[in-house]
Amino acid sequence: MNQRHPPALAIEEILRAIEDIHHAGRRLQTELSPEALSQWAASLHRLENLLAKHRPLLERLPGEEILQGLAQRLEGQPSPPSSGASSPPQILIVEDEADTAEMFAEMLGLQGYQVEKIYRAEAAMEYLKQHHPDAIVLDIMMPLVSGLEVLRFVRQTPRLRDIPVVIVSAKAIPSEIQEVLNAGANAYLTKPITFAEFVDTLNALVKGQTP
């Protein structure tokens, strides 16, 4: 009977986990939902656990072959943003729906960003008096003070006016979208949005590119 050697079993287990990441990533590209995000995060966590579990064994194998194989299987997975800074880019999320804010935060965290969540427009403006995030994700429809006021505050404050602002809103009336863009938004994403659309927009703006 031909028995499988432990190294082969370990590598096969790791490669299966990578395939799970691919499947979960493809789902996220078409379905931006907490369930799809949780599936992707769980698959990443499983791979991390497997790599830690099999590390002593893998360290005794030819490293170049393993790394090449893993790189090929991971090709196409999102990579952390690079802004040239020594620390991860910081993103401020201003969203009154806690579940939505948490979903955005988890997605950006998986991309390597540091995230601050604020649920009220007035609280966001107070926060911005003391902080300078690398980008802002902003909802428009918020209680008491609208997200549009936050956008205007950012653009009218010299210290803040260079910060990229991405609007993520369910409002889809062209005239209202144009009003927000005229007020200084760098991008306007209409809910529901895809994971790829959201992340690609943030990555481009943090790098100083046009999304």
Confidence of residue 46 (pLDDT cuts 50, 70, 90): confident
User: The domain that contains 173 carries what CATH number?
Assistant: 3.40.50.2300
Considering the domain architecture, whether residues 11 and 101 belong to the same structural domain is answered as: no
Residue 94's Cβ-count burial label (10 Å; 0-12, 13-18, 19+) is buried
Considering the domain architecture, whether residues 125 and 40 belong to the same structural domain is answered as: no
Q: From the centroid of its chain, how far is CA 92?
A: 12
Asked if the structure places residue 173 within a domain, the reply is: yes
E runs forming strands in the chain? 90-94, 114-118, 135-138, 165-169, 187-190
Asked if the structure places residue 20 within a domain, the reply is: yes
Asked if the structure places residue 24 within a domain, the reply is: yes
CA–CA separation, 187 and 180 (whole Å): 9
pLDDT at position 47: 81
pLDDT at position 156: 96
Question: Residue 67's domain spans which residues?
Answer: 6-74
What average pLDDT does this structure show over 40-64? 71
- Percent of the chain exceeding pLDDT 70 equals 78
What average pLDDT does this structure show over 44-60? 74
Considering the domain architecture, whether residues 135 and 196 belong to the same structural domain is answered as: yes
CA–CA separation, 59 and 36 (whole Å): 33
- List the one residue out of 208, 142, 139, 210 whose CA is nearest residue 180: 139
Confidence of residue 4 (pLDDT cuts 50, 70, 90): very low
pLDDT at position 155: 97
Of the ranges 7-16, 81-90, 142-151, 202-211, the best mean pLDDT one: 142-151
Confidence of residue 165 (pLDDT cuts 50, 70, 90): very high
What average pLDDT does this structure show over 164-182? 93
User: For residue range 131-152, what is the model confidence (pLDDT) as tens digits?
Assistant: 999 999 999 999 889 999 999 9
Considering the domain architecture, whether residues 97 and 189 belong to the same structural domain is answered as: yes
pLDDT at position 60: 54
- List the one residue out of 99, 155, 149, 141 whose CA is nearest residue 122: 149
CA–CA separation, 35 and 188 (whole Å): 24
Considering the domain architecture, whether residues 102 and 21 belong to the same structural domain is answered as: no
Considering the domain architecture, whether residues 32 and 131 belong to the same structural domain is answered as: no
Confidence of residue 182 (pLDDT cuts 50, 70, 90): very high
Asked if the structure places residue 67 within a domain, the reply is: yes
- In total, how many domains does the chain have? 2
Question: 165: which residues sit within 8 A by CB, 6+ positions away?
Answer: 135, 136, 138, 151, 154, 184, 185, 186, 187
Asked if the structure places residue 181 within a domain, the reply is: yes
User: For residue range 66-80, what is the model confidence (pLDDT) as tens digits?
Assistant: 454 455 444 444 444
- List the one residue out of 127, 103, 137 whose CA is nearest residue 34: 103
Q: Report the predicted TM-score, pTM, of the whole model to 2 decimal places.
A: 0.65
Residue length of the chain: 211
Considering the domain architecture, whether residues 67 and 141 belong to the same structural domain is answered as: no
- Edge to edge, what strands does the sheet with 90-94 contain? 114-118, 90-94, 135-138, 165-169, 187-190
